[in-house]
Structure 1
Amino acid sequence: MSDLASDIDRVWNLLEDIPVAMVVTHDGQGRNMRSRPMAARPARVEGFIYFLTDVDSPKAEEIRGNGTICLALADQTSRRYLSITGHAELMDDRDRIKQIWSIYDKAFWPDETDPRIRILRVTPESAEFWEGAGAVVTAVKLAAATLSGARMNLGANHKVEFDAR
């Protein structure tokens, strides 16, 4: 497997392991951005990341104005972090909604037939991920860097470009 294919595979593995993404959109009022936590539903084979949202939500309006989006995911326990930049679009796909619906979605809608639910589909364009050592190793590295005055190495960092569709 090439380095690029391996890195892209690693991005999908991280997406599957970290269930919540901070979804960052442009607020439509200037240069400001807004973020909110959302349950990510990666579809590796299709090359998309799905979310459920409400048709009337502020994020839906922001995406209609500017489809460039950033997803930020963090697993503090394992010191793994992922940032994805991509293109978002809203879809009214009732079959997909039923497919990815979970019991947790009942916190926002009565069931998967609610007409307000929309699919937020993200096509990844680029990603960057960081993977560090566990907490004990990180603490030892931090102490060593502090004592020696050397800069701390926080672990591997990779940038990945996805193929344009």
Structure 2
Amino acid sequence: MSSPEHKQKIWKMIKDIQVGMLVTLDGDMPRARPMHLVQKEYDGTLWFFTKRSAEKVSETNRDHDVCLSFSDQDKGVYVSLSGTANLTDDRELIDKYWNPFIAAWFTGGKDDPDIALLEIDVTMGEHWKAKESKAFQLYEFAKANVNKDATPNVGENEKFGG
């Protein structure tokens, strides 16, 4: 778990990215697909709408452990979050997170019998944030290649939880 301040740091990194790649196990093989955040704040739980009939639902029912990755190459932001997935059809939460983007995917509206929310309780993660421009990062890589004892210093990296 992470502190409230750290959760805000994570949220600041992913809130504008909006789409993360959800990794589940399809049998023995990892499988990723894009998922769109629906919340406006982060408290350690991420929420996504899904169809109850989607393969990711049966995959998370078999193995609740999942990973989500977010990246914004332009800003040099990379976030990996791991946790447990659970399906809910809580009407209050569906109403709370419903929006026109989601409505386009569920033609039956909020009352579509196939609609559900996938709740991801984050337990650990890691993030990277480049501190400088791409040109500076290239300079750091070149410097490290010349000086074999040095490694590139391109920004922040932090693990949490677990």
The normalised TM-score by structure 1 is 0.83
- CA separation in 1, counterparts of 2:4 and 2:92? 30
Q: Which amino acid aligns with 1:83?
A: S
Report sequence identity in percent.
29
- Structure 2 unaligned blocks of 5 or more: none
Question: What's the counterpart of residue 63 of structure 1?
Answer: 60
Question: For residues 58 and 93 of structure 1, what CA distance do their matches in structure 2 show?
Answer: 20
Partner of 1:159: 159
1:77 to 74, 77, 86: 74
The one-character-per-residue Cα deviations of 1:10-57 (angstroms, maximum 9, x if unpaired) are 112223232011001111x2x211110010234424x31100000000
Q: Given that residues 22 and 69 in structure 2 are in contact (C-alpha distance below 8 angstroms), is that contact kept between their aligned partners in structure 1?
A: yes
In 2, Cα distance between the equivalents of 1:107 and 1:148? 54
Counterparts of 1:79-158 in structure 2 under 5 Å?
A: 79-110=76-107, 111-133=109-131, 134-149=133-148, 150-158=150-158
Tell me which amino acid in the other structure corresponds to 1:70. Answer: C
Aligned partners of 1:25 and 1:63 also within 8 Å: yes
- The alpha-carbon deviation at position 155 of structure 1 amounts to 1.5
Matched to 1:51, the amino acid is F
How far residue 5 of structure 1 moved from its aligned partner, in angstroms, is 4.9
In the alignment, which residue of structure 1 is the partner of 2:9? 10
d(CA) in 1 for partners of 2:61, 2:42: 25
> Distance between the aligned counterparts of 2:55 and 2:159, measured in 1?
30
What is the identity, as a one-letter code, of the residue corresponding to 1:132? A
Query: Do the aligned residues in 1 keep the contact of 2:50 with 2:115 (CA within 8 Å)?
Result: yes
Q: Separation in 2 of the partners of 1:129 and 1:138?
A: 17
**Cα contact 2:137–2:154 (8 A) shared by 1:** yes
Q: Structure 1 stretches (4+) deviating beyond 6 angstroms?
A: none
Q: CA deviation at 1:83?
A: 0.5
Separation in 2 of the partners of 1:103 and 1:142?
A: 44
Q: What amino acid sits opposite 2:114 in the alignment?
A: R
SS for the counterpart of 1:115 is coil
CA distance in 1 between partners of 2:140 and 2:23 (Å): 32
| CA-atom RMSD in angstroms | 2.1
**Quick check: 2:22–2:35 contact (8 Å CA) kept in 1?**
yes
Q: Is the 8 A contact 1:24 1:36 kept in 2?
A: yes
